[in-house]
Chain A
Amino acid sequence: MIGVLKRLGILGINRRNADYTLAWNARRLYPLVDDKLATKRLCQAAGIPVPKLLAVARNQIEARRLLDELEAEPTFVLKPARGAMGNGILVLEQRDGQLWRGSRVYSREDFAYHAAGIISGLYSLAGHADEAMVEERLEIDAVLAPLRDDGVPDIRVIVYRGIPVMSMMRLPTRSSGGRANLHQGAVGLGIDLVTGRVVHAMLRGRSIDKSPDTGMPLRDVELPDFDRVLRTAVAATDQTGLGYVGADVVLDARRGPMVLELNARPGLSIQLANRAGLLPRLAAVDARLGPRGSPDLGLDLGERIEFGRSVAARLSR
């Protein structure tokens, strides 16, 4: 069994931590990606599209006033700036007088309490004090909408040393509670880097063919605008200085690809969704760019994406 995984080049957690995240992601850069507000500022400064920020609460008083700032917004998303694994995200879809509808009905008090919980660090990685941020709710792309019932799918691109090496789409399901997290029951769809087509789908570690919620076939679905998705993802990771990043990109129906967040410790299930190991691709990147400290080859964004695609194409044969 271990032999098969080795032959497939499957990257395990220990190896990822030691050879990739520890080796290529300097600890001091983590705040840039752990704090979604910082990521947002970084991307905005570089002209990379991100979901619009509607309001921020940094303390309990601001948490109580948060809703007042949102009087004009019928629908929005409340999330912790330093949340982990999609925890603590509240999606409010519809306003109904003094009540808001989301996964359930929320009153003003419910909302303020949730924001207060975020600020006191309930959902943040180490329980540190956090900030509550409110973002616009995105409108899902027409191609992707029929694949799911609830929630916004996102596209995860693993970028290693500036080169996209693997990609997957994460489709929220009813059982995942609208969250695009694989271990919470979202569907993972392996995406061919060259064509942008779904090559394989899996749910909770098992292969599937159809969307569990809508019954739509998943194989060979072609992502719209995949070139721009890749460009957006790689451009965003370029801003961070991190060497091994997972960029989460969402496709908005009106404004196209936008960076939702970046991750300095991207998960490994992407290999299951693609039925392919990361190790050969990472090795190919190292072979091209040389060991750490090698002179910069001066590849531009387009050349790097082309190289990533050629590696993927060569290795999936």
Chain B
Amino acid sequence: MHRAVLVTGALFVAVGLALFGAKTLRFGIPVAPTENLGPWQVELRISARGEGARGSVRALLPSTEGGQVIFDERSSGDRLQFSIRERAGTRIGVWTGWLQDVHDVVYQFRVQNHAVTTPLPAQGPYPKPSRQLMSVWGAPSPGIPSDSPAVAELLETLNPPQATDQPARIRTLYSFVSHEVATVDSASSDALLTLSRREGNPEGKERLLVALLRAAGIPARLVHGLELRVGTPPEELLWVEAWVSDAWVPMSAVHDFFETTPENFIVLGRSNVSTVEATGVSAVGHRFQSLREHLRPDEIANLLAPDNALLAWMSLYRLPVGWQSVLRVLLLVPLGVLIVAAFRNVVGITTYGTFMPVLIALALRGFPLGLGLALVALVILLGFLARFALERLRLLMVPRLSIVLCVVVLAVTVLALSGQDTGQSEFFAGALLPIVILTMLIERVYITTSEEGATQALLRAFWSVLVAAAIHPIFRSTHAEYLMFSFPELVFVVMGMLVWLGGYMGYRVTDLVRFRELALGDAGGGASR
């Protein structure tokens, strides 16, 4: 290895390690992800299209309450004025202004949540709700037809325990909606239709439960919330709270919980309206994204510390959630190429395409290795058969490659459909594109097969897969992901190691294999020299 190479590599490694060391030693950022998982990062992105009129966009904003702690809130209004209003304990973010073309409103927060149980009191006496409480949460309201004759009729049939035993009354009504009314996603969200058909969509069922509770004299309300999930966007959902003895008891006849909200459910607010509303716009849409973090809240605060402006500026944790998800994967790629470089320049094996193993590993990130390899093998086999069938037509290369690509796209589509049935659908989203890139692999496998024989083609495919398999566990490791994302300066270390690898002048393992006869033969006859 030349001196210059050695020094350059060392320089890169030193810079990377110095930054890494400063962050871990001086600022105490942990090297490994926290065992018990940290907070969630949630982002609400609203797109509103306006035609020059004055209008506003409103969204329910979560508050710190019960088991959930909201912190690190940020909002960007895209030319609109942002303010927060509070109504009956629910915070509403309002963005107002002249709406012209598309406005992208973003609201981000972090939330640390743990499950809190609000049990029904074991015994009375149960105080009566105040008149004010009754007027807000006990009376019929739009969408909550607690005064309808059908509801009254049902109450009579159910004949719940006396009004003095509120917990028993609540249990009876909850049990009715939970067990006697079916949940059908395509059914109505209207409480009365749900009641008459004995089936409703999740919203219809929860509205019916609220209507029944209010009709039975128990204050009740709808809660808008999010179910946070790993790997997929959060789901917006509704549940119910019933008032007993100065406490709001959570329950859901759809998501099957009572007294205890699951840990991954967070409250956005209580309102009869939707999560996001707008006036003065021609169209509005919104979506939530979320990400689970491996740091404790205090460690994140550390990363975003205002007294370390540079460190805070460099922290990837302040980026939008969508970018973070992409960067988390992207920052793993240098590790992948390092392994490819080692395999090629030190071991000396030939793979299809220089970085094809990285692509394969990337395509398989969402799957366990065995299943993933089976999928890739299946897609390649299909493409290969298509390529074989096309050979007779003698098509020119680009259209022929394109047809193989179409076959691969169709194959992946069918896989996605069957994945939906087996519950694997969530993984497909990220894996689709890299799988499609495998089309090039198919053509190369085909050409190698016809030119150098199936043995060569299989051998090279085997090496490609072997390298991909070596990279795969790294791409799936949360520890590696955490390290590279929290300490992107480690890319410098990788670069330094690549410089060293590039300056490696010694024999490759394949050189040794190729010249083994010389080496061994000469070792025997070495005495004559």
Contact = CB atoms under 8 A, between A and B. Distances in A.
Interface of A: 1-2, 4-5, 7-8, 10, 12-15, 18-19, 60, 87-88, 109, 113, 116-117, 120-122, 184, 202, 205-207, 268-269, 271-272, 275
Interface of B: 345, 348, 394, 396-398, 447, 451-452, 503-508, 510-512, 514-520, 522-523, 526
A272 B521 CA distance: 11
| Best-buried of B394, B452, B511 by chain A (most CB within 10 Å) | B511
Given A14-B506, A19-B505, A207 B397 contact: no
Contacts of A19: 505
Contacts of A269: 514
A8 B516 contact: no
Contact of B452 (A14, A117, A184): A184
Contacts of B523: 1, 4
A12 B511 contact: yes
A120 B510 CA distance: 33
A272 B394 contact: no
B518 A272 contact: yes
A135 B506 CA distance: 41
Contacts of A10: 507, 511, 515, 518
Nearest to A88: B451
Contacts of A272: 514-515, 517-518
B211 to A, nearest CB: 68
A5 B519 contact: yes
Contact of B508 (A12, A88, A122): A12
B514 A205 contact: yes
Nearest to B452: A184
Contacts of B504: 14
Given A12-B508, A14-B504, A87-B451, A1 B348 contact: no
| Best-buried of A12, A87, A269, A275 by chain B (most CB within 10 Å) | A12
Contacts of A116: 394, 396
A4 B523 CA distance: 7
| Best-buried of A2, A10, A87, A269 by chain B (most CB within 10 Å) | A10
Given A4-B520, A206-B517, A272-B514, 19 more contacts: A1-B516, A1-B520, A1-B523, A4-B518, A5-B515, A8-B518, A8-B522, A10-B511, A12-B508, A12-B511, A13-B511, A15-B506, A18-B503, A19-B505, A87-B451, A113-B394, A117-B397, A122-B447, A271-B518
A120 B505 contact: no
Contact of A205 (B348, B397, B517): B517
A115 to B, nearest CB: 12
21 contacts: A1-B520, A2-B506, A4-B522, A7-B522, A8-B519, A12-B505, A12-B511, A13-B511, A14-B504, A14-B506, A14-B507, A18-B503, A19-B505, A120-B398, A122-B397, A202-B517, A205-B514, A205-B517, A207-B517, A271-B518, A275-B518
A5 B508 contact: no
B350 to A, nearest CB: 11
B397 A120 contact: yes
B396 A60 contact: yes
A141 B512 CA distance: 36
Contact of A13 (B348, B452, B503, B526): B348
A14 B126 CA distance: 84
B396 to A, nearest CB: 6
A300 B452 CA distance: 42
A122 B448 CA distance: 11
Contact of B512 (A5, A120, A121): A5
B120 to A, nearest CB: 71
B97 to A, nearest CB: 53
A16 B262 CA distance: 63
Contacts of A18: 503, 505
B508 A13 contact: yes
Contacts of B522: 4, 7-8
A5 B396 contact: no
A267 to B, nearest CB: 10
A316 B515 CA distance: 18
B507 A12 contact: yes
B25 to A, nearest CB: 37
